[in-house]
Amino acid sequence: MSACNPSVFSFLSASPCAQVTDALNLGLGRSAVIWRNAHDRMRYERPDGHTFSLYLEGGSGTRRIDSVDADGWPGALCVMPQGASSEWDITDVFTFVHLYVPDEEMRRVFTETFDRDCRLMVVPEVTFDHAPALGKALRQVAHATRLSDTLLADETIISALASLFVDPRYGGTRPISVKSGLTPTVRRRVTDYIEAHLDTQITLPDLAAIAGLSEFHLQRMFRVSCGISPHSWVRHRRLAHAKALLTGAEPIARIAGACGFSSQSHLTRVFKTMTGTTPSAFRRSVSSRA
């Protein structure tokens, strides 16, 4: 599906009835938004990205009219996967939180978390379900959004996605044999090398040699299996390492070097782009909880 397709957020933003009450940019194309809506008819036509929805207040006047003959309720969970169209009739006021996650980011998290080929990932379509673990995580996302706390939101997003993937009702993974891409052994060999060399320059020729593939073939097969390019994977792992080090007292400039960034300003630029906050703000947020 084309990335040019509107997202659920775009569809809702075009409605004269839906109102944003709080919003938080979480970097990596992710965002959390608390909406208030009433007396509306919404149609999401093959939306781009995955949307996780939890009804916070109200919802009994909300009905999905294209496939499910049921009304919502406070605490109802909905999952709208990328490309899944749906139509809704809203007759009463309700408040809900939406977590928006791009498909590429979902696939990266799946591979990184479970060490499995991203093509095995399943994002189920869910309408008006009771899912305690995922629901709790989305309530925390809503709380973090109201507080503009990107650190708390980032932590709970990982919890939310893990809850989705491990819930036996939703499958989580496809019971299929994937073809092409990187073999599990080669994928682990490459990702283990990256993990062990985050403080040094990591080049595509190096990774291709470790995989025993041409640079072009590695680029292509890595994206097939992991959802993102080798360069993006390295950047994500450097960021994760930086976050871990920022919980300590080491100077940020030294952390930048330990994570393979050319300078503190380089780390700050990348950190801000990928998380929505700066390393120093992240550290202060961590320290305030200690």
| Domains identified in the chain, total number | 2
DSSP state of 121: B
In our burial notation (b when 16+ CB lie closer than 10 A, e otherwise), range 98-136 reads: bbbbbbbbbbbbbbbebebbbbbbebeebbbbebeebbe
Q: Are 99 and 51 in contact (CB under 8 A)?
A: yes
Claim to verify: residue 206 and residue 160 sit in the same structural domain: no
Claim to verify: residue 151 and residue 206 sit in the same structural domain: no
Q: Is residue 80 part of a domain?
A: yes
- Among residues 116, 134, 166, the one where a domain terminates is 166
What is the mean pLDDT of the segment spanning 206-226? Answer: 96
Q: Is residue 1 part of a domain?
A: no
CATH number of the domain at 75, please: 2.60.120.10
Task: Quick: pLDDT tens for 33-43.
Answer: 999 999 999 99
pTM over 0.85: yes
- Containing domain of residue 55, as a range? 8-166
Round to whole Å and give the CA distance between 78 and 51. Answer: 8
Q: Is residue 177 part of a domain?
A: no
What is the mean pLDDT of the segment spanning 72-101? Answer: 96
Task: Quick: pLDDT tens for 235-282.
Answer: 999 999 999 999 999 999 999 999 999 999 999 999 998 888 899 999
Q: Which of 79, 26, 82 is nearest to 55 (CA)?
A: 79
